[in-house]
């Protein structure tokens, strides 16, 4: 059991990453994954993610440890991009391998909810009229809060 946690400054191929992850965990009965990508909104030209290096990867690693302590997983993958990305490019990939599907689903869901709202990233979108900072939405906070209200 282990975690593959990466902070990336270059594009990655989610399909190839999930294929390799699945091959590394043949004992798992279920593997689930989530890929977040830059939306193809008509007015978004680019997305830029910046971060504070002394906190970001250690924070992602701590999140991975929380996930592994909470669910019986065969493996966990958390990859997150930084830098400038164009619409359609992947931003984040979370995958969980477990003996049973429910553990894999919940672990991946928990990880992405925490990355989305509790993370160490600053996001801004470039539109025709310039750059705009992006804050977490109310739904993002609600998604995170549900993990505090109920056990797995």
Q: Is 88 left (phi over 0), alpha (psi -120 to 50) or beta?
A: left
Task: Give how many domains the chain has, as a whole number.
Answer: 1
Kindly tell me the burial class for residue 126, based on how many C-beta atoms sit within 10 Å of its own C-beta (0-12, 13-18, 19 or more).
middle
Q: What is the pTM of this model?
A: 0.89
Tell me what pLDDT residue 89 has. 96
Of 32-36, 82-86, 116-120, minimum mean pLDDT range: 116-120
Helix (H, G, I), strand (E, B) or coil at 5: strand
CATH number at residue 12: 3.90.1170.40
- How many other CB atoms are there within 10 angstroms of residue 37's CB atom? 16
Confidence band of 10 (pLDDT split at 50, 70, 90): very high
Domain that holds residue 19: 3-149
* Banded model confidence at residue 151, pLDDT cuts 50, 70, 90: low
3-state helix, strand, coil in the chain (%, to 5): 40, 35, 25
Contact yes or no for 111/98 (Cβ under 8 A): no
Asked whether the beta carbons of 97 and 25 are under 8 A apart, the reply is yes
* Interstrand relation of 73-81 and 3-8 (parallel, antiparallel or unpaired): parallel
Cβ neighbours of 60 (radius 10 Å): 23
Query: What's the pLDDT tens digit per position in 96-148?
Result: 999 999 999 999 999 999 887 766 899 999 999 999 998 776 766 666 677 78
pLDDT digits (tens, 9 = 90+) for 45-78: 999 999 998 899 999 999 999 999 999 999 999 9
Over residues 4-26, the mean pLDDT reads: 97
The reported pLDDT for the residue numbered 73 is 97
Amino acid 147: pLDDT:
79
């Amino acid at each position: 059991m282990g975690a593959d946690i990466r902070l990336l400054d270059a594009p990655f191929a989610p399909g190839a990453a999930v294929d390799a992850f699945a091959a590394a965990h043949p004992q798992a009965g279920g593997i689930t994954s989530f890929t977040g990508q830059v939306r193809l909104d008509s007015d978004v030209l680019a997305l830029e993610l910046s971060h504070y290096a002394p906190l970001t990867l250690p924070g992602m690693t701590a999140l991975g440890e929380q996930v592994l302590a909470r669910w019986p997983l065969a493996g966990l993958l958390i990859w997150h991009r930084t830098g400038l990305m164009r619409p359609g490019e992947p931003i984040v990939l979370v995958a969980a391998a477990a003996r049973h599907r429910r553990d894999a689903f919940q672990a991946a869901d928990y990880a992405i909810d925490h990355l989305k709202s509790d993370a160490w990233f600053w996001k801004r979108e470039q539109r025709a009229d310039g750059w705009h900072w992006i804050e977490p939405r109310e739904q993002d906070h609600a998604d995170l809060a549900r993990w505090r209200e109920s056990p797995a």
